[in-house]
Amino acid sequence: MANQILKAPEGAPSDVERIKEESDYLRGTLKESMLERLSAGISDDDNRLMKHHGSYLQDDRDLRNERQKQKLEPAYQFMLRVRLPGGVATPDQWLVMDDLANKYGNGTLKLTTRMTFQMHGILKWNMKPTIQGIHASLMDTIAACGDVNRNVMCVANPYQSTVHEEVYQWSKKLSDDLLPRTRAYHEIWLDEERVAGTPDIEEVEPMYGPLYLPRKFKIGIAVPPSNDVDVFSQDLGLIAIVENDKLVGFNVAIGGGMGMSHGDKATYPQLAKVIGFCKPEQIYDVAEKVITIQRDYGNRSSRKNARFKYTVDRLGLENVVEELHNRLGWSLDEAKPFNFDHNGDRYGWVKGVKGKWNFTLFIEGGRVTDYENYKLMTGIREIAKIHKGDFRLTANQNLIIGNVSTQKKKKIDEIIEKYGLTDGKHYSALRRSALACVALPTCGLAMAEAERYLPTLIDKIDEIVDQNGLNDKEITIRMTGCPNGCARHALGEIGFIGKAPGKYNMYLGAAHDGTRLSKMYRENIGEEEILKELGTILPRYAKERKENEHFGDFVIRAGIIKATTDGTNFHD
């Protein structure tokens, strides 16, 4: 199968490759480590494997210094991420997550930018009952992290309900079919007995093989005109083509990703490129072959350059497409026209098909908890107790109470009112268009605050917005605590990347519909300078913008920032 032209980079394999190789298909010594009681943590090797089971060992960084002073080990705890294709959960599943978060986690649920639940603060000895609880409600955490295909995203758009349902079914099928086949998860967490004997490698992991992928792999499906899933940020993006209200197939886009490292120009965010069109029933074949190309030619030596976007840029898009066609044994058709107009959510009640209603709830920073004056978690719990439809977690960290009958709508409205649950419409459109990654205190990679800080920064930006009559302008604003880009910062019309406590790089010029990356405007600035910069640019936007001109387009036309035309010129 190896192509003469295409080659994987040379170089010694990274340590993670060794760990995977020695792990016996993701088992390692995890079973024993989880039983060991001397430390609340686990070894680095096991932690690497743990990711493939949907979890990370973390420590509470707010307590780090104090515990160090007291010569205690860090306040170890686990983060757990659920695999929830398309972000769809039943009311019963919501209740289970709520219960587990309160029993074993830190009493909060994080709705992530990839449409799923994360729980934080789980102690080692509570991991097994938590995973078992999730499994009993027909969800799992397999492959939610790690060097495999991750949670498959799919449009959460409630007003194209028929197509949504069909596309959701495809995202679920893709997610299930592309799962690792090893039984390690079932043995470690669900007490499954290991079958004796040494099975054939082909039988254990026919697609991934014993080393799995060089890096994580992500798939998202968008239905135009909504690009809520930021389809071009995915390793493999699928754009549903709908003709006469029917799904006819998908445009295929490859090679997107957001992560980079400060000061390292060999790393950059990149947008996926559209390479053709296929019929719905062909997407598994396409996904599998794209994944195997990355498996065979991705960089296993440097994890910083291991994502598929770098493989595509290194090998050349045309060569990768040729290889894909060879592996498929057939060729993609020419891509069909499509048009996106936004990547945010639409809030409040929207009527879908068959007389069913959908309510998009604004969840700031995706954090569901009971605040002192806002009983958000309790309110949603009360809805889940009577709701007969579904919940849809959106790519913008919000929540859709979906498929509500007219009769139930009244009851749900009463609960919404009782708990003051908000669709965010009384906030500025800027706040409703904000995304922030978790960052401190749980993320081990955070260099600055994001989720805990962005709301207060927006309070101050809102004053400028208000003074300039921009209250209803949906300007996407995204903040991450480091350049990994978990809130897809490079696709925010205003983006901030954490550099150090209280310091951010500021980015401008991304397209409102997720089709153009931003560019750095100012480096390493604090709140005062951020407000000074926006205090000049936003009033100009208010006065000088053309009709319907989005902020990201305006800053380029006005000469405030140069357009990024490709990820490879992101740093220029």
Instruction: Give contact residues for ligand SF4 (rule: CB under 6 A).
Output: 437-439, 443, 445-446, 450, 480-482, 484-486
Please select the residue that binds ligand SRM; options are 307, 342, 409, 516, rule is CB under 6 A.
Answer: 307
Give the type of residue at 466: D
| Closer residue to ligand SF4 in complex, CB, 277/507 | 507
Which residues in the 415-454 window bind ligand SRM by CB under 6 A?
437-438, 442-445
Strand partners, 77: 58
State yes or no: is 218 an active-site residue: yes
Active-site entry in 307, 482, 503, 519 = 482
| CB of 285 closer than 8 Å to CB of 328 | yes
81 touching ligand SRM, by CB under 6 A: yes
User: Could you say which of ligand SF4, ligand SRM, none residue 124 binds, taking C-beta under 5 to 8 angstroms by partner kind?
Assistant: none
Please identify, among the stretches 17-25, 97-105, 114-122, 421-429, the one whose residues bind ligand SRM according to the rule CB under 6 A. Answer: 114-122
Q: How near is the Cβ of 467 to ligand SRM at its closest, in Å? A: 30
State yes or no: is 265 an active-site residue: no
Rounded Cα distance between 116 and 259, Å, is 20
Nearest CA to 390 among 149, 168, 195? 168
Q: How near is the Cβ of 259 to ligand SRM at its closest, in Å? A: 2
For residue 446, give every residue at least 6 positions away whose Cβ sits within 8 Å of its Cβ, in sequence order, or none: 61, 438, 439, 440, 481, 482, 498
Give the type of residue at 441: P
**DSSP reduced 3-state for 217:** strand
State yes or no: is 278 an active-site residue: no
| Closer residue to ligand SF4 in complex, CB, 290/486 | 486
Rounded Cα distance between 388 and 404, Å, is 7
Side by side, the strands of the sheet bearing 434-436 are 434-436, 477-480, 494-500, 503-508, 519-525
User: Could you say which of ligand SRM, ligand SF4, none residue 81 binds, taking C-beta under 5 to 8 angstroms by partner kind?
Assistant: ligand SRM
233 touching ligand SRM, by CB under 6 A: yes
| CB of 294 closer than 8 Å to CB of 217 | yes
Which residues in the 45-74 window bind ligand SRM by CB under 6 A?
56, 58
User: Could you say which of ligand SF4, ligand SRM, none residue 481 binds, taking C-beta under 5 to 8 angstroms by partner kind?
Assistant: ligand SF4
| CB of 400 closer than 8 Å to CB of 361 | yes
User: Could you say which of ligand SF4, ligand SRM, none residue 53 binds, taking C-beta under 5 to 8 angstroms by partner kind?
Assistant: none
State yes or no: is 486 an active-site residue: yes
Rounded Cα distance between 304 and 286, Å, is 26
88 sits in which H/E element: strand 88-89
User: Could you say which of ligand SRM, ligand SF4, none residue 480 binds, taking C-beta under 5 to 8 angstroms by partner kind?
Assistant: ligand SF4
485 touching ligand SRM, by CB under 6 A: yes
Active-site entry in 216, 295, 300, 503 = 216
Tell me phi and psi for residue 553, to 5 degrees.
-75, -40
Which residues in the 243-272 window bind ligand SRM by CB under 6 A?
257-259
Compute the C-alpha angle 5/6/10, nearest 5°: 115
Please identify, among the stretches 7-15, 196-204, 325-333, 480-488, the one whose residues bind ligand SRM according to the rule CB under 6 A. Answer: 480-488
**DSSP reduced 3-state for 86:** helix
User: Could you say which of ligand SRM, ligand SF4, none residue 112 binds, taking C-beta under 5 to 8 angstroms by partner kind?
Assistant: ligand SRM
Nearest CA to 116 among 399, 348, 350, 318? 399
- Token pair for 232: 């071009």
| Closer residue to ligand SRM in complex, CB, 124/327 | 124
State yes or no: is 388 an active-site residue: no
Which residues in the 156-215 window bind ligand SRM by CB under 6 A?
none
Give the type of residue at 165: E
461 touching ligand SRM, by CB under 6 A: no
Distance of CA 427 to the CA centre of its chain: 24
DSSP states along 485-531: -TT-GGGSSEEEEEEETTEEEEEE---TTS-S--EEEEEEE-HHHHH
Active-site entry in 81, 273, 346, 499 = 81
Rounded Cα distance between 456 and 454, Å, is 6
State yes or no: is 482 an active-site residue: yes
| Closer residue to ligand SF4 in complex, CB, 50/174 | 50
User: Is the previous residue joined to 225 through a cis bond, with omega within 30 degrees of 0?
Assistant: yes
- The total number of residues shown for the chain amounts to 572
112 touching ligand SRM, by CB under 6 A: yes
Q: How near is the Cβ of 481 to ligand SRM at its closest, in Å? A: 9
Give the type of residue at 535: G
119 touching ligand SRM, by CB under 6 A: no
Which residue minimizes CB distance to ligand SRM? 259
| Closer residue to ligand SRM in complex, CB, 327/519 | 519
Please identify, among the stretches 24-32, 194-202, 344-352, 482-490, the one whose residues bind ligand SRM according to the rule CB under 6 A. Answer: 482-490
Start-end of H helices in 393-513: 406-419, 429-432, 454-467
- Catalytic machinery residues: 81, 150, 216, 218, 437, 443, 482, 486
Q: Which residues bind ligand SRM (CB under 6 A)?
A: 56, 58, 79, 81, 112-114, 116, 118, 150-151, 216, 218, 233, 257-259, 307, 366, 437-438, 442-445, 484-488
